[in-house]
Amino acid sequence: MTTHDPATEAARRRTFAIISHPDAGKTTLTETLLLAGGAIRMAGAVRARGEQRRTRSDWMKIERERGISVSASVMTFERDEVVFNLLDTPGHEDFSEDTYRTLTAADSAVMVLDAAKGIEPQTLKLFEVCRLRDIPIITFINKMDREAQDPFALLDEVQQRLALDAAPLYWPAGSGQRFKGMLDLTRDEFLVFKRPEAGDPDFAAAERIAMAGNSVAAILAPDELAELRDTSELAREGLPAFDLEAFRGGSMTPVLFGSALRRFGVSELLDVLAGFAPAPRTQAATARGVEATIAPDTDEVTGFVFKIQANMDPKHRDRVAFFRVCSGRFRRGMTLKSSVGRAMNVHNPMMFMAQDREIADEAFPGDVIGIPNHGVLRVGDSLSETGQISFRGIPNFAPEILKRCRVADPLKQKHLRKALESLAEEGVTQLFKPVVGADLVVGAVGALQFDVLEERMRAEYGLEVMFEVSPFQAARWVSAAERSDLETFLERNKMQMAEDLDGAPVYLGKSAWEIGYVQDKNPAIRFASTKERLA
């Protein structure tokens, strides 16, 4: 039901990210959402005993081998005339930067909690990112078919540790082997949990039974029914009632229970996203150098690049920019301009279904399209028809691990530099070029990023690389109000100075203590642990 009107089309879009601690079931939930939305017909569960599960959103080799998500994927599907743009984020903390960038493109988030473990450290970190960006959060308490914590304890933890009012929309009956389903607190209907069996359709809506009649007694034993009535009444009276304004404002989270693996509660999660999650929102920007807001119904096509991915298709050395449309009706073949004046004709924009893709003839606010390009676009670039719109930049974070990188074959030194630059432009790692010396310094937030870098260098560029201990342990971007102060500092400290990918000066410290010491000695110099690339 495409109307071609940007305001109408934006209103039926829900662009959301999924955040969780590793192993909470995020990738399984992603797959089950796609099943529920009719985007895929078959669960990619276990192929054979001992093989890792391979889902649609995990396509990189290292992801298949380790069973983790390390790159963000975008998946678009439609259900009941609502268009869902699902942004799957890395769960591993070593890839928190990639997650942050992805969350800049989301209007809401689904927080997945393991029912047995509650809030884990990485969940807390990702939640803080959502809070920084005022992103409304829906909580999905997963793995109820396994032994779980008391639901009151789980919701109390959400309220205490996240300072969020937790408003349950459903209430579970038992957990583990005793899990029978959940009560819809709004409609007073019981949703029957049934473990899928061989031959069952891949996705079927849960059976609903009115609590007012006697039918529920066929599902729940008398003591189970009494417990459900008592605990759900306590939940209704003692926990906050759902308030749409509080949810949209970021102070309340609606809570659902379920099992992504058993495909229970997922259809209800989609209903909550469709009914309550915000449509694409107004975005802060700069227009012709003046602070402005860009509403989805603005006629001009605008948007920003939040991710670059190279070699998604191993048969073609492609490079795709993930572009979030913020306003207007994008049409294939349009010319868009960056805020630094580069114009590009977008001939073959793509819509994504994980690694599958198809040509997008048009796109609307909230949609994410892929723009093939050869190094023209970078993370943080803004594009618009006039080239006069610039959205708030996406920051780089100071790396926590620094290593020297060398190539086994010295004749391939130029290839090494080019490959490292290309992967740094994607945001896989950061690259620093010391002012003195030829060894390139690679920076990352976590050790696993180096494993991904090594794997991709071998698979995509045919390079065997070695990482060696760097004399530096910390990096900070440096700037000053007066150009002369900065130049004096750079000259005095050139043995520890480097440039990042944009040519910005970076001070490489032997320790965090040393950086603090140098900062105290040079009050005219600003040392920054983040850097926004405005484009």
Domain chopping of the chain, boundaries: 6-71+83-172+243-276, 283-392, 396-533
What the block records as the tokens of 260 is 């992504």
CA distance 27 to 56: 9
DSSP strand pairing (108-114 vs 137-142): parallel
What the block records as the tokens of 61 is 């080799």
CA distance 204 to 35: 10
pLDDT at 428: 74
CA distance 386 to 407: 43
Digit-coded pLDDT (tens) for 480-499: 999 999 999 999 999 999 99
pLDDT at 450: 85
Per-residue pLDDT tens listing for the chain (535 residues): 677 889 999 999 999 999 888 788 888 898 888 888 776 655 543 222 233 334 444 445 545 554 444 344 788 888 999 999 998 776 545 445 677 778 889 999 999 999 999 998 777 777 877 887 789 999 999 999 999 999 999 999 999 999 999 999 999 999 999 999 999 999 999 999 998 776 666 677 889 999 988 899 999 999 999 999 999 999 999 999 999 999 999 999 999 999 999 999 999 999 999 999 999 999 989 888 898 999 999 999 999 998 887 765 555 556 788 999 999 999 999 999 987 778 999 999 988 765 567 889 999 999 999 998 877 888 888 999 999 999 876 777 788 889 999 888 888 888 999 889 888 877 778 899 999 987 889 998 777 778 878 888 888 888 999 899 999 999 999 999 999 999 999 999 999 999 998 899 999 999 989 999 999 999 999 999 888 755 4
- Backbone dihedral region of 503: left (phi > 0), alpha (psi from -120 to 50 degrees) or beta? left
CB 70 within 8 A of CB 79: no
Q: Do domains 6-71+83-172+243-276 and 283-392 have the same CATH topology?
A: yes
3-state SS class at 311 = coil
pLDDT at 74: 81
Residue with tokens 């789980």: 154
| CATH number listed for the domain at residues 6-71+83-172+243-276 | 3.40.50.300
**Domain 283-392 classified CATH 3.40.1390.10?**
no
| Sign for the pseudo-dihedral over CA of 377, 382, 383, 385 | negative
3 state SS for 122-175: HHHHHHHHHHHCCCCEEEEEECCCCCCCCHHHHHHHHHHHHCCEEEECEEEECC
What the block records as the tokens of 372 is 């093939």
Sequence-distant (6+) residues with CB within 8 A of 200 are none
pLDDT at 234: 97
Residue 245 parent element (H or E): helix 244-248
CA triple 258-261-265, angle to 5 deg: 25
Look up the pTM and report it. 0.79
Sequence-distant (6+) residues with CB within 8 A of 50 are none
Which of 157, 170, 161 has its CA nearest to residue 116? Answer: 157
Question: Domain 396-533: what homologous superfamily?
Answer: Peptide chain release factor 3, domain III (3.30.70.3280)
